């Protein structure tokens, strides 16, 4: 169909509201796809500009119809204003509180306050409520299509026209159904929030992974590496939590320990107290660290954390690497001979680390194509200058620490054997953005 005809049918013939909707959708689609295609954060962020107020407006409307209206309908009109204020406080108050930086109330306080925990949990619970409203809307849509008689018998959310069903008692029954649904929604919201808060504050589970690596010397079979990532020390994670994670890591008695980024939200000048327990990491083959994207936010430059870790007994892998097990110290040599008696000094593998791609904010040259490949080449060149030219041709086992899984394709092209990453938090909160009502 010619472009002009599409434009006429889909846009020019629309009402003012319809035109606004299409413009917003077009904006989101254009910048969203362009952002995904080019990997540009700025473009992807631009896509969200009309989506955020639109989503908020929809959530307010939906929650008004489904949570508030059933209770004030038929009551005094004076209830309307307080009910609106309550709903606005629920959504906008949580977001407004969340807009303020969660720095500890004074310098030297390394435990989060109860109020900080509360407002962060509140923001998270809004996502859960949004998801529930979305699920309810989809449920209504399905009922409307598959069994409309059920909706005629008792509306789930929307006020019905009077007289529907030909039953004098129908409006009362419908109101009861809507109130029941609203109460169920609130109970579900409270329960799921409690479950999610409990899961977020609980002790992390220990996940044991067997990682096959091509080129790993047979005598090193069973070599263990304990990994910790995404601690986000700061507003809601304090000294006690970080200490507990470090103790758990040490209790695993791994040969080496690795910290794969996002250790803190803020520079060392503000967050060093919370991160102090990392000095207790005590794996025999050492502890190693790479930056995550959050080490470049909130006033931190990334390099400050790399330096801080180096000064506190954790080796920073800033586009460099080490060979493991290390043969440098007598103590470690003794450990090696006990643990891996069949190994010689040549039986090692490479542990490489690249700084997070967010370092490009301070160093744009890192953003060039092949960033990881170049970083790996540089790291290997430092380790074994003679083999640098043969990068990717020797089947020598190499384990890469890179915070984001997005670096995996480049790492694979660089010929690495394996990569471990964090960053995703497993999705953290299951939520689907609201869509316009069916």
Partner 1 sequence: MLAPTALHVPPAATIHRRPIHWSTYLVNKGRVAGGFEVTRGGAFEEEVEGIGPMQLYVGEGAVGWGPRLRFWAQTEITLLTLVPAAPEDAGAPSSSMETDSSHPSQTGGLLASVLLIGSVAYVVVRQMLVARGLLEKARGPTDTEAGLVQMETVSSTESVQAQEDSSVP
Stretch 227-266 residues interacting with partner 1 (CB under 8 A): 227-232, 236-237, 241, 245, 248-249, 252, 254, 260, 262, 265
In the region spanning residues 136 to 155, those forming contacts with partner 1, defined by CB under 8 A, are 138, 144-145, 148, 151-152, 155
Window of 67-75, 93-101, 277-285, 305-313 that interacts with partner 1 by CB under 8 A = 93-101
Nearest to partner 1 of 95, 378 (CB atom): 95
Whole-number minimum distance, CB 184 to partner 1, in Å?
A: 18
Q: How many CB atoms lie within 10 A of CB 96?
A: 11
Q: Are strands 315-316 and 287-290 parallel, antiparallel or unpaired?
A: parallel
Whole-number minimum distance, CB 365 to partner 1, in Å?
A: 17
Whole-number minimum distance, CB 222 to partner 1, in Å?
A: 6
Q: Work out which of 79, 214, 367, 389 binds partner 1, going by CB under 8 A.
A: 214
* Closest listed residue to residue 356, CA positions, set 410, 414, 402: 402
SS3 414: coil
Q: Work out which of 78, 208, 338, 369 binds partner 1, going by CB under 8 A.
A: 208
Residue-level length of the chain: 438
Q: Work out which of 37, 99, 330, 386 binds partner 1, going by CB under 8 A.
A: 99
Rounded CA-CA distance 121/133 in Å is 19
Q: Work out which of 59, 182, 185, 220 binds partner 1, going by CB under 8 A.
A: 220
Nearest to partner 1 of 62, 230 (CB atom): 230
Nearest to partner 1 of 93, 200 (CB atom): 200
The crossing angle, in degrees rounded to 10, of helices 41-63 and 80-88 is 150
**Where are the alpha helices (H) located in 283-345, listed in sequence order?**
303-310, 330-339
Q: Work out which of 202, 341, 364, 385 binds partner 1, going by CB under 8 A.
A: 202
Asked if 103 interacts with partner 1 (CB under 8 A), we say yes
SS3 260: strand
Asked if 84 interacts with partner 1 (CB under 8 A), we say no
371's enclosing H/E stretch is helix 371-383
* Size, binding site for partner 1 by CB under 8 A: 138
In the region spanning residues 326 to 365, those forming contacts with partner 1, defined by CB under 8 A, are 349, 358, 361
Residues 267-306, one symbol each (x = binds partner 1 by CB under 8 A, - = not), give --------------------------xx--xx--------
Rounded CA-CA distance 353/170 in Å is 67
Q: Is residue 297 a contact partner of residue 263, using CB atoms and an 8 Å limit?
A: no
Nearest to partner 1 of 11, 82 (CB atom): 11
Q: Are strands 320-324 and 349-353 parallel, antiparallel or unpaired?
A: antiparallel
Using CA atoms, how far residue 212 sits from 209, 224, 288, 354, in Å, is: 10, 12, 21, 21
Asked if 223 interacts with partner 1 (CB under 8 A), we say yes
Asked if 68 interacts with partner 1 (CB under 8 A), we say no
Nearest to partner 1 of 191, 328 (CB atom): 191
Q: Is residue 423 a contact partner of residue 229, using CB atoms and an 8 Å limit?
A: yes
In the region spanning residues 373 to 402, those forming contacts with partner 1, defined by CB under 8 A, are 392-393, 395, 397, 399
Asked if 185 interacts with partner 1 (CB under 8 A), we say no
φ/ψ (deg, to 5) at 428? 65, -60
Whole-number minimum distance, CB 148 to partner 1, in Å?
A: 7
φ/ψ (deg, to 5) at 289? -140, 140
In the region spanning residues 110 to 139, those forming contacts with partner 1, defined by CB under 8 A, are 117, 120-125, 127-128, 138
Rounded CA-CA distance 208/318 in Å is 27
Nearest to partner 1 of 82, 436 (CB atom): 436
Rounded CA-CA distance 60/90 in Å is 10
Asked if 422 interacts with partner 1 (CB under 8 A), we say yes
Asked if 308 interacts with partner 1 (CB under 8 A), we say no
Asked if 80 interacts with partner 1 (CB under 8 A), we say no
In this structure, is the dihedral angle defined by the CA atoms of residues 231, 235, 239 and 244, taken in order, positive or negative?
negative
Rounded CA-CA distance 416/373 in Å is 10
């Amino acid at each position: 169909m010619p472009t002009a005809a599409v434009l006429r049918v889909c846009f020019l013939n629309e009402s003012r509201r319809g035109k606004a909707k299409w413009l917003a959708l077009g904006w989101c689609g254009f910048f969203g796809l362009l952002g995904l295609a080019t990997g540009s954060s700025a473009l992807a962020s631009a896509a969200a500009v009309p989506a955020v107020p639109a989503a908020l407006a929809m959530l307010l409307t939906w929650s008004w119809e489904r949570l508030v209206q059933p209770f004030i309908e038929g009551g005094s009109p004076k209830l309307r204003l307080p009910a609106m204020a309550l709903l606005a406080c629920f959504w906008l108050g949580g977001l407004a509180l969340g807009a303020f930086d969660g720095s500890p109330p004074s310098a030297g306080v390394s435990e989060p306050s109860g109020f900080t925990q509360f407002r962060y949990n509140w923001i998270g619970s809004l996502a859960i409520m949004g998801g529930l409203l979305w699920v309810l809307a989809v449920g209504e849509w399905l009922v409307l299509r598959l069994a409309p008689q059920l909706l005629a018998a008792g509306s789930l959310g929307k006020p019905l026209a009077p007289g529907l069903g030909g039953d004098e008692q129908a409006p009362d029954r419908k109101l009861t159904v809507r109130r029941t649904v609203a109460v169920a929604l609130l109970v579900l919201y409270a329960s799921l929030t409690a479950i999610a808060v409990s899961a977020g504050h609980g002790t992390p589970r220990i996940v044991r992974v067997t990682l096959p690596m091509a080129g790993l010397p047979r005598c090193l079979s069973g070599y263990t590496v304990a990994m910790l990532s995404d601690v986000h020390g700061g507003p809601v994670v304090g000294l006690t939590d970080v200490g507990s994670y470090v103790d758990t890591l040490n209790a695993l008695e791994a040969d080496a320990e690795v910290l794969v980024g996002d250790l803190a939200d803020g520079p060392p000048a503000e967050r060093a107290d919370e991160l102090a327990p990392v000095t207790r990491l005590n794996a025999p083959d050492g502890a190693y660290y790479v930056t995550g994207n959050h080490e470049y936010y909130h006033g931190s430059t990334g390099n400050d954390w790399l330096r801080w870790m180096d000064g506190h007994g954790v080796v920073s892998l800033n586009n460099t690497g080490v060979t493991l097990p290390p043969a440098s110290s007598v103590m470690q040599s003794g450990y090696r001979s006990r643990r891996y008696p069949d190994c010689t000094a040549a039986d090692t593998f490479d542990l490489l680390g690249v700084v997070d791609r967010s370092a490009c904010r301070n160093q744009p040259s890192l953003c060039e194509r092949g960033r990881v490949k170049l970083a790996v080449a540089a790291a290997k060149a430092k380790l074994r200058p003679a083999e640098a030219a043969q990068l990717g041709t020797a089947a020598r086992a190499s384990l890469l620490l890179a915070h984001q899984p997005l670096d995996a394709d480049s790492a694979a092209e660089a010929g690495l054997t394996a990569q471990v990453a964090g960053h995703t938090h497993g999705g953290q909160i299951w939520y689907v953005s609201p869509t316009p009502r069916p």
